[in-house]
Each structure stands twice: as C-alpha cells, then as structure tokens.
Structure 1
Amino acid sequence: MPAGSPQNGGQSAPRLLTKLAFVVSAALAALALRLAWESPLAGIVLLGVIASLVGLRWASRRRTRRILRSGDVETILERWSSSLDRIPHPETMRPLMTATALAAHGWVDQARAVLRTAERGPAWDAALEHRLFLESLLLTFEGSFEQAERKAAALAALPLPSAEPSMLERITMLRGAVAALIRAFSRKSLPGDAGLMLEASDASPLVHWAMRYGAAIEAVDAGELGRARGLIAEAPSWPSQSYFASFHHEIDAELERRASADLD
C-alpha cells in the first residue's frame, strides 16, 4: 500500500495538511501574543493571518476575512474569546484588545467603558504602542483631532521592534495610516493619504471600514464623488451604537448635496 495510507500507519494527505495548518497557526498565535507586548499593531495585523489559517476550522479564508469586514463586532469578539482568555496578562490585554475591536467598528462609548476596566501596571505600561493606536482611533472618532494628532505623533516616534523587514514595513505603514485617518477626519488630507488608508484596510481587516470611511471623506473633499460612493457602497448597516452609522449618513448626505449642486 502507499506509504501515506492509514492501513500501514501512515497519514492521509488531508490529515497531514490539516495538522500542518494547525501547527503553523499555533506558531503564529504564539508570535501574535509576543507581539502584543512588543508591537500590538503588528499583533492586530497578525490576527488576520492567524484567522486565515484557522479558517480551515471556520470554513475558508474568504469567510474569515468576510467576518472581520462584516462590521459584526460581537461575532468577532465571540470568535476571539478563547484566545483572549489565554493571552498574557488578560486582566490588562483582554480589555485592550476588546476595546480595539470595538473602536475599530465605531463603538466608541463601549470601547471607552471596556478600556476603563483594564488593570494598570507593568503590562499596561508595556502596551504603550497599543494604547497610542487605540487612543488615536477613539479621539479621531470623537472629533478631538489635536489630541489624536499628538497620540499619532507619539506612535510614529516609537522605536520599531525587532522583526522581519516585511513586518517592519507593515508596522510603519499602519502607523502612517493612523495619521492619514486623523487628517481625513479633520479635513486636512495630504497627497497619498487615500492610498495609505486603503493599503491599511487591505492589510488589516479589523480596521477595514475605519480606513475606508477615512478614504471616503478624503475623496469627498477632493471632489471625487464617484470614488467616495464606491468606497462605502458595500458597508454594512451599522447599529446605532456605532459612530459609523452617523458617519455613513453624513457622507451620503454630503454626496447628495454636492450631486444636486452640480445639476443646478
């Protein structure tokens, strides 16, 4: 019989592939937990990669990305629940990660409430990059742009962690995208900001819609109404708890106003 057949003690190809995917996903999970200390931004990106591999359990990589881009933050947190229970220093990191997911979907008030439950101490201090990223999002959505800019500047000034060059490029790109997001919401976009936000939306499904709303605002300000409309055309129907519901309504209203003005 072939060497891989179960009858002679071997393993079938599907079983080997499944075990290999499990081993790789476990290794990535360990790396993500370490990055939660050294660079939570990189950890967030890596969660998308892990989710893709664990997608063998969920059904497929496409379905995983669809969940992360669905806007259904409650389902996302449910999927993360067991992993967050095992993360180092869960009394600090679980609220931080939960608040990040909530903030990335516009649930600003809920994110603030969860963040207040995080235990302060060495783990809190070590998660400085994560906290700067999270505060940048929250302050931007709250309209506190000057404070958000200070947080983003502090984030950009942090030393880069020890990592592979491709990971360092990803971290640098995400830091830049946060600054671009703040400029978009404060109506001060610079050339290249839209591309940076869209790159971040593709690289990290968790912040997909946050970055696309920023890019849509930039497009409206640039007078590119069709591009703005296309960026949010497939957005989910946001619940009232999400600030994105009002952002979407405001962008739609502005698009209609400008389209009507063009017809006059």
Structure 2
Amino acid sequence: TDRNRTSPFAFTGNKFEFRAVGSAANCAGPMTTINTIMAETLKKFKGEVDAVIEKGEKKEVALMQIIQKYIVESKAVLFEGDGYSEEWAKEAEKRGLGNVKTTPLALDAFVTEQAKQLFTNNSIYSIPELEARHDIMLEAYVKKVQIEARVMGDLASTLILPAAVKYQNDIIKNIVGLKEVGLPESAYANQKQILEVLSEHINVIADNVEKMIEARKVANEIDSMRKKAIAYCDDVKGKYFDIIRYHVDKLELMVDDNYWPLPKYRELLFLR
C-alpha cells in the first residue's frame, strides 16, 4: 500500500479502491483475486489463532500474537511515500519486492504454483481455467499491440510523411527561388537547416515504420502465445513505438498547420 492519492489501487482503511479504470477494463478479475486472497488469509488466520489457543493462551492473547506476526511479515509492502516515484522503485528492490514492468510477464502471475494453489484451494478456478485465462489475456494483448502498430504505421505512412514531404518541397522551392534571383547563401541558410532537420525526421520515421512492419511479421510466425506477446512487447512496441512517436512529435512542431492532417496538441486545448 502507499499514500492514498498516489495509488491507482488504493487501500482506504477498510477497502480497496480502483482509480481511473479504463473503459475497456473490468474490475471483476482483480476483485475476485483480492476476495480469494482475503478468504485464504482468514482461513489461515483462524487456523493459527486456534493453534495458539489450544496451547492454553487466551483468545485475546492469541489474536494479538498472530496479528503482530502478520504485521511483521507484511512490513516489506508497507510504504507511505509516492508510489510512482523512482525512490519507491529503488526501495522496493531493496526490500526484495518484485517489479514486473511488462504486461506479458505480469500475466505469468496467473499460472504460478502459488496462484494455482490459491484458486484451487478455494474452489474459484481450476488449473485449466487459469491457464485458459492466461492464454486469452496474452492473445488480447497481442491483438491490441498489433492493432496499435498497424494504425501507427498507417498514420505515419499515409498522413504524417506525405504532409511532411509537401512542406519539404515548399522549402526546396523557396531555396531554389532565392538562388535563382541571385541572393547569397546566407539568405536561405535557415531554410537549409530546417530542410536538413525535416529530412532527418522523415527518414527516421520511414525507416522505423518499415522495421516495425518486419518485426510484426517475425512475431506473427511465433506459435507460443506467451513468446508472441513478449515479442510484440519487446521487439515491436518496445523498439519502435517511442522512436516513431518522438520524431512525429518533432515534425508536428515544424510542419505548416495547413499541411498537417491531424489536430495538433495545442489545438486540442485551443482553437486555431
């Protein structure tokens, strides 16, 4: 747990709260898991308290002993700072807590031996049901990243790059015109510099879109759904999404508004 306002999944005294759940998300799965963990813990708690009572301790003493034991055992997850900070990531590592950073690897939690024991002992899911859910969620992840990659490639190739090339041609015509009227190179030095930067962004985008398409083709040939999800995460999304996005953002700041085919960031807040 951590501070209430900095947790997407806050524990607020006597309950957990989900914050800003996406429209495509469903809280039922996490709630099922939390309730199952709670049920398992209460069964374990009662068993341990009963064992202490059988040794001759009073119920109140037994309760306090086991509660104290649980507090000590759970100390590693207690944190009152900013759960989004680098400080917490370092502190969590120091405490020996896991920090799984990608969805395909995080989904493995469904099929660990600990998870299988938890859900089967409480008659919530059978092992085949857990494995099926794991496979379905991996497939859903693959399809989402696949769609995002295809849309990103299409937007870059059919909207962004053509607009940038048109603007590039305008600058070239401007430079040629200034040369033809006999002006010195200093008169169009800035235009040449803009042209160089523009060309670099165009080339990087085009090159990485092509590489991303090839990476998708390789990932699509993988039979194992888990390995395919990891490939889409690491080799498609991880390698190409950010770099394409970065250079498109740079072009947005350079290309004439009249050529840019999509709303620019400032236009999402202010009218032209």
TM-score above 0.5: no
Larger radius of gyration: 2
What's the TM-score once normalised by structure 1's chain length?
Answer: 0.23
What's the TM-score once normalised by structure 2's chain length?
Answer: 0.23
